[in-house]
Structure 1
Amino acid sequence: MSRFDRLFATLKAKNEGAFVPFVTLCDPDFERSFEIIETLISNGVDALELGFPFSDPLLDGPVIQAANKRALDAGYSTDACFEMIGKIRAKYPDIPIGLLLCANLVFVPTQDVFFKRCAETGVDAVLIADVPLLAADEFIQTAKKYAIQSVFICPPNADQATIERIANLTEGYTYLVSRAGVTSAENQAHASNLDNLVESLKRSNSAPILQGFGIAKPEQVKEALALGCDGAISGSAIVKIIEANLANQTQLLAELAEFVQAMKRATK
């Protein structure tokens, strides 16, 4: 079993959902970013979803765009991110690690080189946000070669054929997008058909479902679980805490700890 598979089996046995944070690696710099990861893990997150700094993040709203820029302006890129993942894996051998990034970060080094580095540093799963399902096969083949799970997004307008293809392809977890648009903690409106999507994904035997986009409060975690999701992903709300405390790392870590504890409590 993969780390994600073990995680969801363990949580199911405890009748508990997963809380997964998203952060951009090396924001605002390497050492502070690692301290942020340590704080997330020590305060109860179940897995990590990590982004690499990129100049043109397609799904990201202003908050995560700014995180990308901070990391890039500080001189960090893919090499530093893989170095940090290796450091995370060495200290936390059991935490599931997923990447959410754009295809150029895979294409530029070549798929083979990229997924090999994922395997060497301890990545479990990769979601390439701008690869459509119809073009996914070549990425899946290379990922499988290195035992990396391929994760796919279920959009709010997915039809049954799309749902069935997602369920057939996605491994580790299924990323259920709450609404159309880009990431944002402010836009907390969710599509009205999420319950139908969850039901259809489950009927199609999809991998466990994590709901993301606009997840910023414990009540929303509870709502995701009530819909039948297996957990929730929160990104912009976490990155806003980082952005608001760039001048005070101690305060940043304290606020992160409080936020994570509240969100994790909502999964129980």
Structure 2
Amino acid sequence: MTRIDAKFADLKAQGKKAFVAYVMAGDPDFDTSLEVVKGLPGAGVDVIELGLPFTDPMADGPAIQLAGQRALEAGMTLDRTLEMAREFRKGDNTTPIVMMGYYNPIYSRGVDLFLEQAKEAGIDGLIIVDLPPEEDDELCIPAQKAGLNFIRLATPTTDDKRLPKVLQNTSGFVYYVSITGITGAAQAQATDVAPEVARIKAKTELPVIVGFGVRTPEIAQNIASVADGCVVGSAIVAELASGKPVSEVLAFVKSLADGAHRA
């Protein structure tokens, strides 16, 4: 059982929904980013998604694209991202960390070496948005053999024919993308999301977590009420980009977490 599995089992036992927060590793710099990441559990975050900066983030909207650029310009690398996870683990051995990004840096490192390093650093799962199920032998299956969850995205365009393929080797949780398009593009609507979550849950025992378009405590509560939890990324990244102190960013995160946990 991974930390992700344990976390969702614990939340289920408490009758609570999950709040997942995404931050870009190294944005705006290593030290500030690490301070934010270390503060997330205390702000009510159940699972941390740690963005791996990449030069061509095709699924991301402007907020996360710019965060990646800032991180890269500040010297963030795959090694530094793993170092951030290691530093976090010195004080927290229970909060799951999911590394989210693109395949190129992992491919360049070499899958076996990357998985060994990720496991050692305390990474629990991977979301690699540009690897479809047809490429499961590349990373998904090796990751699961190494003891990491491989979390797949389902979208509004994942029809009933495609869904079983998407779910086939997924573990940890299913990330349902609430809107078509890029991150931060539109507002998620619970009325649209609810039937899609129900459709996915009819095909899997895994928790279904909804992301994209969740920006306020009210939306977090509404979306979490029709799923097993929600993810917020762009809104948190934008708070950090505005130059607010870490304490204010974490206060904003706590308001979102409180919203999700009210569901």
What is the one-letter code of the residue matched to 1:19?
Answer: F
Q: Displacement, 1:44?
A: 1.3
1:62 equivalenced with 2:83 (yes/no): no
- Candidates 252, 257, 260, aligned match of 1:264: 257
| Contact 1:166–1:206, Cα closer than 8 Å, also in 2 | no
- 2:2 — aligned with what? 2
| Contact 1:188–1:214, Cα closer than 8 Å, also in 2 | yes
Identical residues among aligned pairs (%): 34
| Contact 2:188–2:223, Cα closer than 8 Å, also in 1 | no
- 1:239 — aligned with what? 237
What is the one-letter code of the residue matched to 1:187?
Answer: A
Per-residue CA distance 1:219-267 (angstroms, 9 max, x = gap): 112222232x11111000000111001xxxxx42222222122112222
- 2:160 — aligned with what? 160
1:103-142 matches, within 5 Å, as 103-142=103-142
What is the one-letter code of the residue matched to 2:249?
Answer: L
Structure 1 distance, partners of 2:113, 2:186, is: 37
Structure 1 distance, partners of 2:145, 2:188, is: 39
Structure 1 distance, partners of 2:74, 2:20, is: 26
Q: Displacement, 1:151?
A: 0.6
Tell me the secondary structure at the aligned position of residue 169 of structure 1. Answer: coil
- Cα distance change, pair 47–189 in 1 and its aligned pair in 2 (3 A): closer
Q: Displacement, 1:190?
A: 4.4
- 2:149 — aligned with what? 149
- 1:74 — aligned with what? 74
| Contact 1:151–1:175, Cα closer than 8 Å, also in 2 | yes
Greater displacement, 68-77 / 234-243: 68-77
The alignment covers a number of residue pairs equal to: 261
Greater displacement, 252-261 / 207-216: 252-261
Unpaired segments ≥5 residues, structure 2? none
Structure 1 distance, partners of 2:232, 2:95, is: 17
- 1:248 — aligned with what? none
- Candidates 254, 261, 264, aligned match of 2:247: 254
Greater displacement, 50-59 / 186-195: 186-195
Structure 1 distance, partners of 2:62, 2:254, is: 25
Q: Displacement, 1:169?
A: 1.7
Structure 1 distance, partners of 2:42, 2:190, is: 33
- 2:22 — aligned with what? 22
Structure 1 distance, partners of 2:68, 2:205, is: 31
- Cα distance change, pair 112–139 in 1 and its aligned pair in 2 (3 A): same
- 1:202 — aligned with what? 201
Per-residue CA distance 1:145-201 (angstroms, 9 max, x = gap): 3111111000111111322223332111111001111111x6215496432321121
**TM-score, normalisation: structure 2:** 0.94
- Candidates 225, 228, 232, aligned match of 1:230: 228
| Contact 2:193–2:223, Cα closer than 8 Å, also in 1 | no
Q: Displacement, 1:138?
A: 2.9
Structure 1 distance, partners of 2:45, 2:192, is: 28
Greater displacement, 77-86 / 201-210: 201-210
- Cα distance change, pair 145–13 in 1 and its aligned pair in 2 (3 A): closer
| Contact 1:156–1:191, Cα closer than 8 Å, also in 2 | no
| Contact 2:190–2:223, Cα closer than 8 Å, also in 1 | no
| Contact 1:125–1:172, Cα closer than 8 Å, also in 2 | yes
Unpaired segments ≥5 residues, structure 1? 246-250
Q: Displacement, 1:39?
A: 2.0
| Contact 2:24–2:64, Cα closer than 8 Å, also in 1 | yes
| Contact 2:189–2:223, Cα closer than 8 Å, also in 1 | no
Greater displacement, 3-12 / 135-144: 135-144
- Cα distance change, pair 27–254 in 1 and its aligned pair in 2 (3 A): same
CA RMSD after TM alignment: 1.6
What is the one-letter code of the residue matched to 1:88?
Answer: F
Structure 2 distance, partners of 1:6, 1:195, is: 25
Q: Displacement, 1:10?
A: 1.1
